[in-house]
Amino acid sequence: MGGAVASALVVVGVSFAPGATAADAQSEQWYLGPMQAEKMWKTSTGEGIKVAVIDTGVNPDTPSLKGQVLADEVPKQVAYGATDDYAGHGTTMAELIVGSGADGGLQGLAPDSEVVPYRVPLGSELSAKEEKLAPTSAEAIRAAADSDVSIISMSIGSVAYEPEDAAAVKYAASKGKILVASVGNEGQDAGYIEYPAAYPYVLGVSSIDDKSHISDFGQSGNYVDLVAPGENLPAYCNGNFEKYCHNLNGTSFSTAITSAAAALIWSAHPDWTANQVTRALIDTAGRKWPKDEPTSTAGYGTIRPRSVLADPNYDAGEPYSDPLRKENTQEGEKLVTEIPPASASAKPSSGATAPSQGAAGSSKDKQAAAGSDDAKTAAADASSDSGSTLWIALGAAAAVVVIGGGVFAVLRARRAN
């Protein structure tokens, strides 16, 4: 994904070392209580679910991730640097999903799930040689699609539409995977949603704070699907993994937390398809507006996985009926998510791998930020669950660098409000 970035960190307060004081990091994970994590874990801990984290790499040796990272399952052709996190961002995302919380580290929302790491070039922190050796985002997505991971979590973003990435996303969806990505941190007036969140078949996630207010930094538009906690959270300061930093913001956090929520649900219902897990997230999201009228800042509302886990009678609907059919369909197109895999199994399937990345910009008129929602009103019951992603650098959104390629747009169904 040319020019994709994982938002840089902003240090608003002091930092502390993992293990310096027991549960230091967890004490800042304010959403675990309102989401009733302890109650959810009595029903599901995410066991049996693998999550691909496509990011800056994942360090498997932090106290919270020991035994949780399946580095040996990364295909050799895309494995370069997978466990060498050059920024700390990917490792933080992995801990938010599967972290054990050991030695004061981050507590994952789905602690018995497992992570498969993929390192892709983000921003300009890698050398030219390292960038050349690293897989492209399209290659990483395809490799994950051909594996037995269930969820592909992407706390990354770019203004560039790239046909190779779009094709890889579609391929992964056809394999029965759930793809989750951050909408970006450039603010509600940016006029666009970042890719890959803006591709069909990807759940775009924005952020809320601990008062259930939509985060001002979260980008708004047609392809915001859900919101989750993303403000005032801890994360590794850099790739040295010596300490966490405080009070960081971003839709990256929200994406990881949403991926973990999906893992909890899928683990509890292993026979469900990606459509059914997605429908569960949408049906039970906290909101004050009709379910079929998603807003441009909060989509279908705030994630509430406990509502699914606590309801033994919840009906997830038809396995091959896409709950995001309107957003995912271009005119005359058959949705790949509505075609049963060749195996006819509800479980995600596996296949082969393929190529690369290009670049193209998304413009305000091609990807209009629709409507005028109340940016400070989140969903009903939003305080019960929430999430967020990508960190804001120095109080402003991280810059996105677009690398090469021409600019063109792909029209998709527009959100009316």
Q: Which residues are annotated as catalytic?
A: 55, 89, 252
What are the two backbone dihedrals, phi and then psi, of residue 286, each rounded to the nearest 5 degrees?
Answer: -80, 130
Distances (CA, A) of 251 to 172, 197, 207, 389: 22, 11, 5, 2
Q: End-to-end CA distance of the chain, in Å?
A: 29
CA distance 392 to 405: 27
CA distance 173 to 156: 18
Tokens describing residue 344: 């006819």
Q: Which residues contact 276 (CB under 8 A, 6 or more apart)?
A: 269, 316, 317, 319
Tokens describing residue 123: 């921003």
Tokens describing residue 38: 């302890």
CB neighbourhood size of 206 (10 A): 34
Tokens describing residue 369: 């930020």
Query: Which residue from 92, 115, 113, 111 is spatially nearest to 28, judged by alpha carbons?
Result: 92
Tell me the DSSP string of 165-219.
HHHHHHHHHHTT-EEEEE--SS-TTSSS--BTTTSTTEEEEEEE-TTSPBPTTS-
CA distance 133 to 127: 10
Length of the chain as a residue count = 417
CA distance 307 to 188: 29
H or E segment to which residue 255 belongs: helix 251-268
